[in-house]
Structure 1
Amino acid sequence: MASPGPVTAGGLSWTVWETVEHIADDLFAYAGQLAPEQPALDAYVPFGYRRRPDGPALTVYVKAEAGVAGLLHVLDASGGLLAAQVQVAPPQRRAFHPMGVSDPEGFAAMGVVEVLAHMHDVAAGLGVPWSAPDDLCDRVLWRLFPEAPLGGWPALLWATGRGELPARPRLADWRWHSTPRQQEAA
């Protein structure tokens, strides 16, 4: 099966292929942030990257000749790296993210949001209906979006600027809060 090629992902300027590469890249990068014995608190691990104009910056990208199967293999591998790192990192470990120094739980939640939000973009670009489990959405909403209402998939789409909720304007700019919730309360 060949690459989806120039099909754009939802409202992004990225292609479907680049968007899936971006998801894999973020999962890999989050695992990389947690992996050092003493992670940096002020910068990302300095992996190199490449970028196409208007495309995502990518450290992880897929050989085009590997096709869609290769793209999905890389996505699966990157997700496995993050899942493994979250399991073995001590819960008190902290590492840099530009939206707040985070812990393993936070990096896991950010990975989930990247997958869910960008798979929405991919599905929209391909014209395929898709939604995420409401309980999973509510868990990441609670962890990363303290101002957002719990409300499953529609609320997560709203919190990431991809949807509307009654009595709430669509968000043009949004951000998550990756610092641990207990730390914010202290």
Structure 2
Amino acid sequence: MSRSVETGSVLSPVTADDVDLAVRLAVGILRDAPPAGWGGKAGSLEWDCWETVEHLAGDFLFYAVQLGPQSPPLDTHVPFALRQKRPEGPPNFIFAEHDAGPAGLLQVLEASGALLVAMVRTTPQRVRAYHASGVSDPEGFAAMGVVETLVHTHDLAEGLGLAWTPPSDLCSRVLARLFPEAPQGADPWLTLLWATGRAELPGHPRLTTWRWDSTPRS
């Protein structure tokens, strides 16, 4: 369980169902994107919208495979090799066929998200696996997958001219799980954008560097 610093209330853990919900909401809005927009930049990122979705799909698979070995490594990640399609693009190991178009790209995103959902759902909570921001548990990998989905869909929505506001309760729970020191009292979605360097928060300037804490809360 995660505890809200502001109210002292106990928040429910982040689950596989939350990952599933985040992915479904993201895919739902991205299906409305104009076909010509996928080559443009994703918000403040240097990546274009197409490769940002590939990056997000890669995040899902990367988190899922950390939980896969019978004895997950605790000192480094499972050694899948990453590569870049272009020097300014994200390192990745998932790439969608361009001939499949945006619909195929979103299928890749859905399928990769489903793998993370399945691994979080079936991995015992006692399991620990490596992440650079702290050895984590299945709930932590679920929370990381949700944050990646919410903030990268924000990037994509900016680049594609779409409106995107995820559920406040979901934002609150991933903030409590991964950003326990984040300021309290503001809108949870705005706070999550602030915590990931994407927005200013009243009384708090926009961050130029940021990092979550993926270690278990208990």
| Structure 1 Cα separation of the partners of residues 76 and 151 of structure 2 | 25
Residue 71 of structure 2 aligns with which residue?
38
| Structure 2 Cα separation of the partners of residues 179 and 3 of structure 1 | 41
Which is bigger in relative contact order (C-alpha 8 A, separation at least 6)? 2
1:59 and 2:93 matched: yes
Q: Within 5 A, what are the aligned runs for 1:44-123?
A: 44-51=77-84, 52-123=86-157
Measured against aligned partners, the alpha-carbon deviations of 1:30-73 in whole angstroms (never above 9, x if no partner) come to: 00001111001111111122212111011111011111111110
| Matched pairs, number | 182
Q: Which runs of 4+ in 1 moved over 6 A?
A: none
| Structure 2 Cα separation of the partners of residues 4 and 77 of structure 1 | 22
| Structure 1 Cα separation of the partners of residues 153 and 38 of structure 2 | 16
Contact 2:38 2:160 in 1 (8 A): no
| Structure 2 Cα separation of the partners of residues 106 and 149 of structure 1 | 20
1:3 deviates by 6.8
| Structure 2 Cα separation of the partners of residues 175 and 38 of structure 1 | 26
Residues 81, 102 of structure 1: alpha-carbon distance in 2 compared, 3 angstrom cutoff: same
With 3-12 and 115-124 compared, the bigger mean Cα shift is at 3-12
Residue 161 of structure 1 aligns with which residue?
197
1:178 and 2:214 matched: yes
Q: Which amino acid aligns with 2:109?
A: L
Over aligned residue pairs, what C-alpha RMSD do you find? Answer: 1.3
| Structure 2 Cα separation of the partners of residues 4 and 116 of structure 1 | 19
TM-score (norm 1): 0.94
Contact 1:43 1:97 in 2 (8 A): yes
| Structure 1 Cα separation of the partners of residues 38 and 152 of structure 2 | 17
Q: Which amino acid aligns with 2:181?
A: E
TM-score (norm 2): 0.81
Residue 127 of structure 1 aligns with which residue?
161
| Structure 2 Cα separation of the partners of residues 55 and 167 of structure 1 | 33
1:169 deviates by 1.3
Contact 1:3 1:17 in 2 (8 A): no
Q: Which amino acid aligns with 1:78?
A: S
1:152 deviates by 1.5
